[in-house]
Each structure stands twice: as C-alpha cells, then as structure tokens.
Amino acid sequence: MTELKFHVDESKCIRCGACIRDCAPAILEFDPDSEYPRVIPGAEPGCTRCQHCLAVCPRAAVEIFGRDPEESLPGNAVPDPDEILSLIANRRSFRSYRHENLDRVTLDKLKDMLRFVPTGVNAHSLHFAFIDEVEVMDSFRNYVMDRVAGMLAEDPDNPFLSRMERYRRQFIEGRDVIFRGAPHMVVAAAKEDSPCPAYDPVIALSYFELYAQSLGVGTVWCGLALGTLNYFPELMARLKLPEGYKAGYCMLFGPTGLRYPRATQPDPAGMHSVE
Ligand SMILES: Cc1cc2nc3c(=O)[nH]c(=O)nc-3n(C[C@H](O)[C@H](O)[C@H](O)COP(=O)(O)O)c2cc1C
Ligand code: SF4
Ligand code: SF4
C-alpha cells in the first residue's frame, strides 16, 4: 500500500463531515486537535483507494494520492435519462465492419475511459490487450481460417469444429464468423487472485460497449473469439497478457457502415418483487 497523502485544505473545509461519512471502510475522523478530517492513525491499510473523499467534498478541499480535486471531471454532467435509455436500447451487436483502423483520437478516448470502470473492492486488477491495427487482426483471422480450412479437409470431427457446429456451413464458405471481419479486438483480463476476476472484465467491457456506440463505433461481445483464443494457446500467447492474468472476455470493435434505424422490441425481463 502506497502512502495515502490525504490532505485537507483547511482554508476551504467547512467541517461538514461528508468525506468521513462516505468513506466505506470508515478510516476517516475529525482530528480531535485541529477539528479537520484526518485518517485515523494506523487505519491507512483499510483504504480501498476509491477517492470518494475527494469526490464528495462540496468545497474541493480533499486531496488524496496527490490528486488535485480541481482536476476532476465535473460531477453534474449526467446526460439526460432518456438519452441513456436510448443508448442502452439501441446498442446492437455489430457483425459488419469496415476493413480500416478506427481513427486514433477515438481509439484513445475508448482506452482512456477504462480507468473509470468499477471493480470489486476497487482492486482495478484489470489489464486490456488491444489489437490496434487491422493488419494484426488480419493475421489472427487468417491463422484461424487456415487452421479451420485444414480441419475441414482432414479432420472434420475436430473438437473445435464440433463445438462450432452451427457455423460449419459458413466456415466452408470461408466466412470469418469468429472475428466478424472486425479491425480491432480488446481482450479484458483480470488478475487471477483479484477479488472479482469473473465479473470485472465483463463489467469493464459493458462500459466500453456503451461508450463506443455513443461514439458511433460498432462493437460485438465475442465468446467465439474467447473460445478460439483458449483453443489455440499460441494465439492467446500472442496477446502477451501479464503473468498471473487470465482473459475474461473479448470484444470486437471498429468503424461500421451499418446503422439500425430503430431499436428491437425484447420481451420484458423476468423479475419479481420479494416479499
Ligand atoms: C464486481 C463488483 C463487486 C462489488 N461488491 C461490492 C460490495 O460487496 N459492497 C460494496 O459496498 N461495494 C461493492 N462494489 C463497489 C466497489 O467497491 C466500488 O466500485 C469501488 O469502491 C469504487 O467506487 P465507485 O464505484 O464509486 O467508483 C463492487 C463492485 C464490483 C464491480
Ligand atoms: S480513498 Fe476511499 S477508502 Fe480511502 S480514505 Fe478516501 S474515501 Fe476512504
Ligand atoms: S467533505 Fe470537504 S468540507 Fe466536508 S469535512 Fe470533508 S474536507 Fe471538509
């Protein structure tokens, strides 16, 4: 645990106690001498590094980890709820992409967004392997298509083909049903001994998908790509995930010419209210 560097600017603090009340592990208190907030002596290891103390202060008086509260994005910039619902309802799984790289500015925006995603116990033990160049994506694609062509010719009962039985006809036609012709892929991996390795990658990619589609970028969750990476360890090795990290899920993305002029009409989700 690095030093918290918790600092209250006493010229701004109005002693409202909001930072103390919102600290989930309750490691803050009013200093009995100065009467300003401080970290309870010896309680530093309990900090989850959530920065709620910095975020909640009405006077921007709290610095922690050397972060200046004035540098935060404003907290009142929440979009219209109808726009949020429209984004959720109109997000689609895109399986048609232009064979070209996304512009660099948009790609960088997508990558930078990932620091804001929530993680269990705020561990942020995630790592993202990005395929930034369509040529690299093509080499993954071509490798798999070559291997599949070999299986179709010599080993039609190969477990890889059996597992993807319903795509056999499309494989025979040489269609890229796995990577969907996408120019980019992101693989979200979690540290295996982190608190929530099964969930954090999926949550991160959920945020990624919505932000991408708000920017007009197509995305598709791709269990087939994850299954393929797991089946061909030499491809997984090419991702060079850090030691101790495991791929959690894959998302394909990129520029798409496809537009859906209306949302789908799914049935209501199953639910009940517990008495
Ligand atoms: C998979 C997952 C599990 C979580 N479980 C809990 C929990 O059991 N109790 C809780 O208070 N917060 C829980 N959280 C919330 C995180 O602690 C929180 O995201 C983190 O402290 C950062 O705060 P923020 O979401 O306000 O940025 C969970 C978050 C995730 C993503
Ligand atoms: S970062 Fe979070 S856990 Fe740490 S002192 Fe601030 S509010 Fe408490
Ligand atoms: S939230 Fe800000 S103003 Fe309120 S007690 Fe904490 S530091 Fe002071």
For the chain, which residues make up each domain, given as ranges?
7-71, 82-254
Nearest to 101 by CA among 211, 182, 41: 182
**Ligand 1 pocket member 46 (CB < 6 A):** no
Nearest to 59 by CA among 48, 50, 70: 70
Strands 62-63, 7-8: pairing kind: antiparallel
Measured distance CA(148)–CA(160) in Å, rounded:
8
**Ligand 2 pocket member 27 (CB < 6 A):** yes
Looking at all shown ligands, the one closest to residue 48's CA atom is 2
ipTM of the complex: 0.93
Tell me, in angstroms, the distance from the centre of ligand 2 to residue 143's CA.
Answer: 47
Averaged over 137-145, what is the pLDDT?
Answer: 95
Which residue is it, tokens 């690095």?
2
What's the fold here for domain 7-71? Alpha-Beta Plaits (3.30.70)
DSSP 195: S
What's the fold here for domain 82-254? NADH Oxidase (3.40.109)
Measured distance CA(91)–CA(265) in Å, rounded:
13
pLDDT tens, position by position, 154-169: 998 998 888 888 888 8
Question: Which atom of ligand 1 has the smallest separation from the CA of 121?
Answer: 17
Q: How far is CA 227 from CA 12, 138, 163, 192, 236, in A?
A: 54, 18, 9, 18, 10
Confidence of residue 42 (pLDDT cuts 50, 70, 90): very high
Side-chain half-sphere exposure of 243, counting CA atoms within 13 A: 0
Looking at all shown ligands, the one closest to residue 10's CA atom is 3
The answer to whether residues 183 and 212 touch, using CB atoms and an 8 Å cutoff, is no
Q: Which residue has the higher pLDDT, 167 or 30?
A: 30
What pLDDT does residue 3 have? 87
The answer to whether residues 229 and 181 touch, using CB atoms and an 8 Å cutoff, is no
pLDDT tens, position by position, 70-88: 999 988 778 899 999 999 9
Which residue is it, tokens 């394909």?
252
**Ligand 2 pocket member 121 (CB < 6 A):** no
**Ligand 2 pocket member 47 (CB < 6 A):** yes
The answer to whether residues 148 and 222 touch, using CB atoms and an 8 Å cutoff, is no
Tell me the best of 59, 64, 68, 72 to mutate to test the pocket of ligand 3, counting ligand atoms within 8 Å of each CB and taking the most.
59
Write down the mean pLDDT value for the chain: 95
For residue 251, pLDDT beyond 90: yes
Nearest residue CA, atom 31 of ligand 1? 119
Nearest residue CA, atom 14 of ligand 1? 120
